[in-house]
Amino acid sequence: MQPLALTLGEPAGIGPDLALAVWHRRVDLDIPPFYIVADPAFLKRRAGRLGLDGPLATVRPDQAIAAFPAALPVVDLDIKVNTEPGRPDRSSAPAAIASIRRAVADVLSGSAAAVVTNPVAKDVLYKSGFAEPGHTEFLAKLVQETTGASRHPVMLLWSPELAVVPVTIHLPLRDIFKQLSTGLIVETGRIVAADLRTRFRLSRPRLAIAGLNPHAGENGTLGEEDRTIVAPAVAQLAADGIDARGPLAADSLFHEGARTTYDAALCMYHDQALIPIKTLAFDHAVNVTLGLPFVRTSPDHGTAFDIAGTGTADPTSLVAALRLAARLASAESPAVAAAS
């Protein structure tokens, strides 16, 4: 198996701290081999600040697995990074973007098994002229640039306790009614079901489809959208042979008993999905992008500028992201349950 490609993320954030900490604990945490796409000199300075001095090996991707037991493998970004912890500068966005580009190129060429992305700061990227809403959309753009194939990426937030998918993602609440459509729900549900079968090895994935309005619209008295938009989507998914139920009242969808009845919940907007999973699995949930020709995972947290460089960042979510990426990318791995 090829190594995992880990991106630098926002260099002023905790991504570099976590990468260094995880490699130093690679044996007791049972970490699969990875390399980080970064400026080696920058990482060496950050390691010294954190008291994590240890060998770094500047490598090609094909050398990473051999180097991993004795040194943190680094694929040189070829961009000088001088960013200080908690203080993004002009090198931040170019370094973060270039690291993603290289990791995607490596996985598409077969040099890496999967991409694991450290968190970025969207406002820093936007100020540099970055045109995509976030990581997920940028990954789809890179796939299209490289292969010519258009992809609809889907965000899955996964943990052993719960797996959720926001059908609409980073939108103000007032815009959800304009963007949500039967077609979007159906397309999202098809992608989720397909990837749960092929990558998570669930023979018949069960999808719970949340209603948009309170009580799933209460038969139209609390809004028509669940009858006119969500219900037809559920019917189409069922006609496609997918085990889909809904629209279901979101306020009773996430308790322990309810979670045993489905493998993933499709939610109509960002907070409807992320509030329950961050409540249940704040420190170990993983962001997985579905619908791409490769596996991509990411820790489900931000850049945490306030603690960058202090050595206090919790690596649990990055550990989970690395482990899950390796499991999903391996054809020989045991089945992974989307929720248990």
Query: Do 235 and 256 share a structural domain?
Result: yes
pTM of the model: 0.91
The H or E element spanning position 279 is helix 270-281
Which pLDDT tens digit goes with each residue over 63-77? 999 999 999 999 999
Claim to verify: residue 124 and residue 191 sit in the same structural domain = no
Domain assignment present for residue 156? The answer is no
Using an 8 Å Cβ cutoff, are 189 and 266 in contact?
yes
Q: Per the structure, how many domains does the chain have?
A: 2
- 10 Å CB burial of residue 129 (0-12, 13-18, 19+) is exposed
* pLDDT computed for residue 334 by the predictor: 39
Same domain, 20 and 137: yes
* Rounded mean pLDDT, 215-223: 89
Residue span of the structural domain in which 211 resides: 161-283
Is 321 inside any structural domain? yes
Residues 97 and 227 in one domain: no
Tell whether 21 and 116 lie within a shared domain.
yes
Q: Are residues 210 and 261 in the same domain?
A: yes
CATH number of the domain residue 324 falls in: 3.40.718.10
* pLDDT at site 272: 97
Could you tell me if 207 and 131 lie in one domain?
Answer: no
Same domain, 256 and 193: yes
Higher pLDDT pick, 210 / 333: 210
In a domain, 155, yes or no: no
Cβ-based neighbour number of residue 229 at 10 Å:
22
Averaged pLDDT score across all residues of the chain: 93
Residue 336 predicted with pLDDT over 80: no
Same-domain status, 87 and 195: no
Q: Are residues 30 and 105 in the same domain?
A: yes
pLDDT for position 337 = 36
Average pLDDT over residues 322-334: 78
pLDDT tens, position by position, 128-169: 888 887 788 899 999 999 888 888 999 999 999 999 999 998
